[in-house]
Amino acid sequence: MPAIGLKASMAGTQTHFEFYAAQEADTARLAAWLAAQAQAGWLVFLNGDLGAGKTAFARGLVKAKCGPHTRVPSPSFTLAQPYETCTPPLIHSDLYRLAEPSEVEELGLLDALDSHICLVEWASRAGDILPSPTVTVTLSLLEVAPEARQITIEAAPEIIAGLTAAQAREEALQSFLAKAGWGEAARTPLAGDASTRRYERLIFSDGRQSVLMDWAKGPDGPAIYDGKPYSQVAHLAEAMPAYCAMVDWLGAHGLASPDILARDEAQGFALMEDFGDRHIANDETLDRAVFYREAVSNLTHLHQSPAADFLAPYDGKVQAVEADLFTQWYLPYCGIEISETAAQSWHALWVQLGDTLLVEPSVSVMRDYHSVNLLWREGAQARFRVGLIDVQDALAGHAAYDLSSLLCDARVDVDPDLQAQAYEHYCATRFATDAEARAAFQTAYAICAVQRNLKIAGIFVRLSERDHKSGYLKHLPRVLGYIQSHLDRPALAPVAQWLEAHAPDWLGQAS
């Protein structure tokens, strides 16, 4: 039997990719590699005899784009199945039952060609109505192995090169898993985040399970700041070592970070303890009061220790670069143009505000301490019931930042009474009756809340416009509300004045 994924030529002019899929899971894996490149405007023809696995390939691609829990029925009877909530949206069509080619016009396919990824089975039934495909996938049955398929992909050289690179990484990953003793475990994809990291859950037949992080090294986005991408100037982690270092540090300091069962930091692979999937953004049965109390207890414990000595400072320079996302992405989204002078003054005031936060001794700041990154562990005790993930972007900064991230959550509404109780729990634990310390912390908290949500407003628009992930825009009203509710602090008067002078309609249509 040939090895899974027979290699295509590494030459940059190849237009064909040959792949041997021993089982349907391999077909889905190849579909996911193609999905990683697929964009709006792609037309994908799926060719093969009845039962060859065309719908299985389409299902793998749709799940890779829309999430692993997406239901993907066969469109044999409906002829066209849309997935409008995906980014970009998709249409999966099966034209086998067309009576005549002209019926294609009634399916909405032609109207969707520019804005959707269109997957078409039995495209030959459309005659010459459809344009030439971006990608042609041909699946063939194999008599010697009934479950296996030979799959040929025809596409432009750059698409084939991407598939070849994905295949090489998969082979490296399989070698890593075999050496770690997890090569025989079943693998299922997990929902990812806004990054380039990819996750899978590995499960043995005896119930043992772990989570795989696959993180190919590389910066996020083009060079825009003195020849560097945003990720570098904002000190975002770009490779596995940053994650492993922070996870190890948190575990050594008595916090619930996942144990790393095996790692290859150079290649970007890690097998981790599985904390499950429950968090307050997806599980309404969780007791919010208990969750927030334990999440705050995590922070009060964390803030007893100085920042990890390998963390870069979360200073005014970094804070200003982050806040610039508001003027670079959010304001243009609202149709607001500002002068270069105004942009420079915005940057300068955030350098100053950010530096004021470093007057206090620095602690380890996760920067993404909020709902989807705090997993509820039912069987654990006290603060260990809240598991910390997505910690690779930590910096050394002010303790107020992660509390504002938790209580001004961009993805979920936090009840005002619960928010106040959690805030008081933190202050009572750390400052008791020290009124001066409480007042200073309240000012810092407001600065952090405003800066963070200005940044998030820009990031969510960037995810929509640059990365075609429009689903993040639904959170903008909540994010803008946090900015509004904290702008009245005296320390933030320069920010309020700048907005009034240069962007008086900054709330825009998103409010």
The CATH number linked to 165 is 3.40.50.300
Residue 229 placed within a domain: no
Give the pLDDT of residue 400: 98
Say yes or no to pLDDT of 11 above 60.
Answer: no
User: How many domains, in total, are found in the chain?
Assistant: 2
Residue 254 placed within a domain: no
CA distances from 41 to 38, 74, 129, 324 (A): 9, 22, 16, 31
Element (H, E) at 130: none
Say yes or no to pLDDT of 286 above 60.
Answer: yes
Give the pLDDT of residue 219: 62
Say yes or no to pLDDT of 108 above 90.
Answer: no
Residue 462 tokens, joined: 């960037």
Give the pLDDT of residue 232: 86
Alpha helices in 408-434 (DSSP H): 416-431
Give the pLDDT of residue 189: 84
Give the pLDDT of residue 124: 93
Distance CA 461, CA 459 (A): 5
Residue 262 placed within a domain: no
Among candidates 262, 261, 350, which has minimal Cα distance to 314? 350
Q: How confident is the model at residue 12 (pLDDT cuts 50, 70, 90)?
A: low
Residue 334 placed within a domain: yes
Residue 186 placed within a domain: no
Say yes or no to pLDDT of 193 above 60.
Answer: no
3-state SS assignment for residue 284: coil
Cβ neighbours of residue 317 closer than 8 Å, sequence gap 6 or more: 351, 354
Name beta bridge partners: 428. Answer: none
Q: Is residue 46 packed enough to be buried (19+ CB in 10 Å), middle (13-18) or exposed (0-12)?
A: buried
DSSP 226: T
Residue 224 placed within a domain: no
DSSP 414: -
Same domain, 297 and 429: yes
3-state SS assignment for residue 300: helix
Distance CA 17, CA 5 (A): 9
Distance CA 463, CA 475 (A): 12
Q: What is the pLDDT of residues 302-329, one digit of tens each?
A: 999 999 999 999 999 999 999 999 999 9
Residue 213 placed within a domain: no
Is residue 271 a contact partner of residue 262, using CB atoms and an 8 Å limit? yes
- Other beta carbons within 10 angstroms of residue 191's beta carbon come to 11
Considering 180, 205, 229, which residue would you say is the last residue of a domain? Answer: 180
Considering 150, 180, 210, which residue would you say is the last residue of a domain? Answer: 180
Give the range of the structural domain holding residue 321, as residue numbers without chain letter. Answer: 277-510
Same domain, 293 and 159: no
* pTM, full prediction: 0.86
Q: How confident is the model at residue 31 (pLDDT cuts 50, 70, 90)?
A: very high
Quote the percentage of the chain above a pLDDT of 70.
95
Same domain, 292 and 424: yes
Distance CA 232, CA 219 (A): 7
Q: How confident is the model at residue 10 (pLDDT cuts 50, 70, 90)?
A: very low
Residue 61 placed within a domain: yes
Distance CA 354, CA 450 (A): 11
Q: Higher-confidence residue: 223 or 396? A: 396
Say yes or no to pLDDT of 284 above 50.
Answer: yes
The CATH number linked to 438 is 3.90.1200.10
Same domain, 148 and 22: yes
Overall average pLDDT of the 166-170 stretch: 94
Overall average pLDDT of the 471-477 stretch: 92
Q: How confident is the model at residue 192 (pLDDT cuts 50, 70, 90)?
A: low
Give the pLDDT of residue 237: 87
* Structure-token match 């095996």, residue found: 262
User: Strand 186-189's sheet: what is its strand order?
Assistant: 186-189, 198-203, 209-214, 269-273, 260-264
Q: What is the pLDDT of residues 197-241, one digit of tens each?
A: 889 999 999 999 999 999 988 766 677 777 788 888 888 888 999
Say yes or no to pLDDT of 2 above 80.
Answer: no
Overall average pLDDT of the 466-482 stretch: 89
Side chain identity, residue 34? L
Say yes or no to pLDDT of 1 above 80.
Answer: no
Same domain, 468 and 339: yes
Overall average pLDDT of the 241-260 stretch: 96
Give the pLDDT of residue 143: 85
Q: How confident is the model at residue 370 (pLDDT cuts 50, 70, 90)?
A: very high
Give the pLDDT of residue 48: 95
Considering 153, 180, 207, which residue would you say is the last residue of a domain? Answer: 180
Calculate the average pLDDT of the chain. 92
Same domain, 157 and 297: no
Among candidates 242, 243, 252, 163, which has minimal Cα distance to 211? 243
Cβ neighbours of residue 208 closer than 8 Å, sequence gap 6 or more: 185
Q: How confident is the model at residue 8 (pLDDT cuts 50, 70, 90)?
A: very low
Distinct helix (H) and strand (E) counts, the chain: 15, 18
Q: What is the pLDDT of residues 58-70, one digit of tens each?
A: 999 999 998 888 9
Q: What is the pLDDT of residues 125-156, one digit of tens each?
A: 999 899 999 999 999 999 888 889 999 999 99
Alpha helices in 253-330 (DSSP H): 288-302, 316-325
